[in-house]
Amino acid sequence: MHGPSEGVSEETDEANSAVKIVGGNVFVELDPDHPGFKDEGYRSRRNEIAKIALEWNEMSMDERRTKKIPHAPYSEDEDAVWAAIMERITPVHEKYACKQYLENAKKLGLPNDRIPQLQEVSETLEEMTGFRQEPVGGLVHPKTFHTALANRVFLSTQYIRHSSRPFYTPEPDVVHELVGHTAMLGVPEWAELNVLFGEADMRTESEAAINRLGSVYWYVLEFGTCREEGNVKSVGPGLLSSFGEMEHACASGEVEYRKPNFEEMETLAYDVTKYQPILYVWDSFEELYEKTKEFVTNWGTDNDPRKDLHQ
């Protein structure tokens, strides 16, 4: 999974957990400041979910396509967290989400009262665009993430934020993956862009170039925006999965809107721990798709005027 943290009522902290194997047991290490650090039940479920991801990723790609993703254990309190978020975020989507998201969210039909299992969501998504969502233990290197995209696989976390703070998470969780990414991956043009980014990454060898590509992905496929009838709308899942991010991006008056510039995006630093102060606004979703498709298709090829920086 490659995405932003999901702060809503306050700024986020950088994701700070690591999956380790201790004495043959899977253990998720949480920062002492994590809301779930002292909750043994929560930590036990996190360990079980991490084990699912580790065992899943030990299988080959062909094996995975013949297996069902095991169910993640969620408590009633965690289902209640999901329900609270869905109740709060749905009216914000209606105001600030792009029309492509709204149309596909209806088709996807995520439940409002419980956390859906990754397998059930993935089955629906696969029927829409051929994409699958598969479990991953946490943040992964951009190369790993993008290589999966090239195979129409979106690596997704399954854990959810702690119930003591339903509108805050120190790390991207299942809300970000399913509420943010899944509906957009059901849009054929958006799914195609994700595959093209994956293929571009597979053509890229240097760490510097991989980071440049990842930065463009951030500004377009995580935090992209476009205009609809003159209004700025959220397109990227980093916005769509957080009502705070959407409200900040589209209505706060505190964001610097810039004309899309891929060369600038490649090296413009971003902070995952804060609401984004700079966003690139496309004139339409169609423009975002066409211009990004051309850029990423040419990345590192003989048609790329900056080929030497993109290999």
CA dihedral sign, ordered 240, 142, 203, 261: positive
Nearest of 310, 220, 304, 207 to residue 262 by alpha carbon: 220
146 classed as catalytic:
no
Q: Which residue carries 């956390």 as its tokens?
A: 115
166: DSSP letter:
T
181 classed as catalytic:
yes
Of the candidates 222, 234, 242, 248, the residue annotated as catalytic is 222
CA angle 109, 3, 82 (to 5 degrees): 40
Region of residue 141 (phi > 0: left; psi between -120 and 50: alpha; otherwise: beta): beta
Nearest of 145, 260, 159 to residue 198 by alpha carbon: 145
Of the candidates 5, 163, 234, 241, the residue annotated as catalytic is 241
Read off φ and ψ for residue 44, nearest 5 degrees.
-65, -45
Alpha carbon 277 to its chain's center: 19
Of the candidates 181, 215, 242, 266, the residue annotated as catalytic is 181
The Cα–Cα gap between 34 and 26 comes to 19
Helices (H), 178-240: 183-185, 188-202, 207-217, 237-240
2 classed as catalytic:
no
206 classed as catalytic:
no
Strands 132-135 and 256-258 turn out to be: unpaired
CA angle 24, 75, 120 (to 5 degrees): 85
Residues with catalytic roles: 176, 181, 222, 241
